[in-house]
Every structure is written in C-alpha cells, then in structure tokens.
Structure 1
Amino acid sequence: MASTVKKMCDSSDSKKRKIEDSPPDSKSFKGFSIERVLREDQRTKFVCLEGKFKGNEDLAVVLLEKEHFPTQSLGRLLSNETTLKETLKNDIYSTYEATPPTDLSGFKTTLIYPATQKHVDKYSEQDHYIIRETPALYEKITLPCLESSNFSMKWVYNILDKKSEADRIVMEDPDPDSGFVLLPDMKWDGKDVDSLYLIAIVHRHGIKSLRDLGQQHLPLLKNILEKGTNTIQEKYSVAKSQLRVYFHYQPSYYHLHVHFTHLRFEAPGFDALRAHLLEDVIDNIETCNDFYQNKSLMFTVRENQQLYKDYKENGYFK
C-alpha cells in the first residue's frame, strides 16, 4: 500500500514538474518577470531582457524591437487617430509625445525559452576585442573551442527537416550536396523590403564555416548565389545589384549559411570585421583551392564568449 501511495505521489510530482516546465502562454507574457536588462540600443530602438516565468526556474531571453513605420499607413498615423501631447515649443519647432492607433503601435519580440547561460552571455552588453586568427591559431584554439560548444543545432535541423518554419520557406533546392532552403531571417518582419533579410541554410551537414570551404563546394556556393538572388528578384523585386550576399566569420552558429540583405539595411555584422561577400569567396577559392585554410582572418569576440577566454588563456591578449 505504501509503495502504491509513493508511486501516486511520484506521478503527481512528475506531472507538476511537467506543467511547470511547459512553455509559457504563446498569446501573452503573463507571469514573466524581468530580472535585468542585458543590452539596450537607443539608436535602433532595441532592448534585450533576461527573466523568468512564474513557477519556472528556466531562464528566458526576450528581444524587443520597435517596428518600422508602415508606408501604407502613414496617413492614419498623421490623422486624428493619433493623439499628441506637446513637450516643447520654441519658435517654429515643436515636439510631442504621440500615441498612435493601437494596431499601429506594436513592436517585434523574439522569445528564447528555455535559454541557457550562453544565450544570456550572447545578448549581454560587453566589450568587444579583435582577433587576427592565423591558420595555426584556428587549429590550436578556435576549432577545439567550437567543437566543444554545446549550442544546440536542433532548430536548424528542424527547418531543414520541415519540422518547424516550413510555411516560412521562400524556396528550396532539395539536392543533398548543392541544395539549400531560403527563408526570412527572424530580424525581418517580411514586409518592409528596404530592411529585407533572408538566410540560405545548406542541406549538406558538416560544413561549419568559411574555413571549411574549398573547390569541391563551388557548385553549392554558385547555386546559392544564382537561385537565391533570382528568387529574391522574382518575389520581392529586389535586384542582385541591390543585395549584400555574405557569410559571417565567426558565424553565430556552425552550420553553413548565407545572408541576403538589402543594401539600405544596415544589418548586424555587415561590417568588414565580420562579413565576407559570397562572390569574393567564390573568386578566392577559384584562384586558390585552399585559400580559406591558409588565410589569416580577423573577427571580433565578446568578453563573455568562451572563444575570448580561450584566446586569453593562451596569451593572445596582453
């Protein structure tokens, strides 16, 4: 009898834990409490928060970003549907606090849940440092670090296997060697073409980054460039000459992917310390097969990153 009661209690505790570990209400942030502001960018109207949902010890990271002004709704924004409260008046200059219609006052949010400490570190405000990675440093420090990284690739494989975001895929080439899926990046709302941002994720596994690319990957790279730009031209009326098509180094995750952004959009990481244009990569490999195995590459690291810590332990920063 005691054994039966114990099993019933264990079952009840198990169910309770399962309920507490379940995802939060997808229609609201009910029960969410902010523990700290990880990062804020007033220029881009972006803030990143760390917190928890009531009754659950799992960490949550929430990204909040103001939406762009919808061109087709500017007339409504500048009508009597928007209320104004004057905050300054000086000669011909006036400033106001404006409250727009409810349906035009939204913001974009991304929830990472449950989040790990690595996610918290990634989105926290921290100092950046430049590393000039030689091939020897890559083999000695970078490669062992990324191989020991426990960042999950499950979300990437879910996309490739159509378990998640299948309805967001803009185009797909299913070829296992030269194929890829093209879909909007989470940073893009899918509406404002001036801030267009899509990602091509290759089907082929085992290509971690720019460092792994060689002549055998040229059909894949050329296929991404041709079909990716053609699809964007057809679907969004953005010409190839108006696109940045590039890799990040270091990438944010180690499964090969290519970024497509509109020239008018200053996407995170489009600068010279991180972005490598796809056409330049193709040209470099055609010139020299092992170009990216022999080239020194520069990139930035954040002080909370394990890669920064590993380089520091090896005496790189003095």
Structure 2
Amino acid sequence: MSQRRSYGLGTGLFIVFGFAALVYLATQTSSLSNGSAGDSYLVTAHFANVGQLKERAPIKVAGVRIGEVRSVRLGAHGDVADVQLAIDKQYASIPVDSIASIYTSGLLGDQYVNLSYGSARQDLHQGSTLQFTRPAQQLEAMLGKFMGTGDGADAIGGTYEVTADFSNVGNLSQGALVKLAGVAVGSVESVTADPAQLNAHVVLAIDKKFNQIPDDSSAAIFTNGLLGPRYVEIQPGGSPDMLKNGDQMILTQSAMQLEDLIGKFMVNGSGGSASKNGPAASGSASGSGH
C-alpha cells in the first residue's frame, strides 16, 4: 500500500514539475521575443510568393536570428506580398542590396526569411525597401526540378513578359523553362488557347538581366531528352532593337509530335529503299534484254 502511494506521489510530482517547466519556458520565450521589439528598425520586402510565411517568423543571417517578421499582407496592386521585417538595431550594417529569401527549416519545418549580404556601401535603415528577393519555393516546383526540368533563372531583379503564338505546343505547361543557348533565362508564365487565331498563346517571363535579346529572335519548343519535359528555346536574331515588356515574338517553331517523327522516319525509310531498288531492278531488266 505504501509502495503504491509512493508511486502515485512520484507521478504527481513529475506532472507538477513538468507543467512548471513548460510555464517557465513559455515565459522565457515570450520575454525573449518581446525584448527586442522596441530595439529594431523596420524594412520592407516584396515577394511574388510567401508560401506559409507567418508573422513573428525569424529573420536570419548565416543561420543566426537577427529579427522577426512583423507583418505579411497583400500589396496594393494585388500581385505581390508586402513583408515588413523588424531587424534588431545591433545589426545596422546590412548592405541595401542584400537579398531576402524565404527558406524552410528542414523538410517540414516553419518558413523564415534569410538575408544574404550584398556589397553596397549604403546600409539598410528605418523605412528601407529590399529590392532583391527570392520567393518561397513551392513543392510543385521542387518536384519539377527533381523530375528533370532543371533550375530556372534566379529572376532576382524581376522579369519582363513577351508573347509567342504556336500552332502546337505539345505538352508545354506553365512553369516550363525558357532557355537561351541552353541556359535558363526565364519560364513560361501561361499557355492559353486563342479562339480567334485557333492557335496557342504563350506568355514568356524572362529575367530582366537578359535584356539584350534581339526582337527578331525566334522561339522554338523542344523536348529535354527523349521523354523529358518541354521547354522554349530562344534563338537570337540580328536586329539592333531588343525585346522589351509586351513585345510579341513573330518567328516560332511548334512542338514536334512523336507521331510526326515516326511518320517522317517511315516515309524516309520507305523512300530510301524504293530509290535503291528502282535502279537495281531496271539494271537487271536491261541485263536480261541483252
């Protein structure tokens, strides 16, 4: 009986001490997070996609926490998310051209903002805006890279959009790569059917740092390997004028279908054998005449 009572007493003390430890940790965490609230300066960053980033998410540099996310809201134009970052004042020497990226802690952890230092002499200050950002990586994009679509352009400085019309896009899809000389320079923004022209209307988002592409360049849809994903390859022209936002690429080459390739192979194969048999047959006939 006394042994059972001692077990019950030990269990009760364990629960009490465990609850007290949780209360202590919660209090310490709250005090730590609120302790730097008044000793920070606010900067803004615009992201095309924030994923699951939440308020009070950490801001890190080289893995060290230097602040927290103060707010996450949709921008005035509705096309980007405005994220307000509260950075501890002791970290006041952050170059204004630093890059803000949204990363995930581990495989299934919470998301946070990582700052990669730039090289500008001017530092961030209260009210500054980070011009260079990388949005949150979506699971679909990660799976696409794993399946072989490859890495796209960074597009840190933004993109400009051009259009191209194709008679056949095959299985080209949104998010497919846009390449120049085999190097990714952008991605396919959208693929829609044009009911008036009865063709496919493709919008290409090209990284702004690739702004020296002649406006008479052509766009062709190729396949990455034998069974890989489709992508758009830009073949440069020779015009002195460059592509700019809103331009249309006139010269296009549609996707080649597997059935067409097989058909051409069969036609070429049969045509080649006929041409070889033709002279041989006529030669044998003339020989028999003699």
Specify the TM-score bucket, using the shorter chain as the normaliser. Answer: under 0.3
User: Greater share of helix residues, 1 or 2?
Assistant: 1
TM-score by length of 2: 0.24
User: Greater share of strand residues, 1 or 2?
Assistant: 2
TM-score by length of 1: 0.22
Q: Which of the pair has more CA radius of gyration?
A: 2
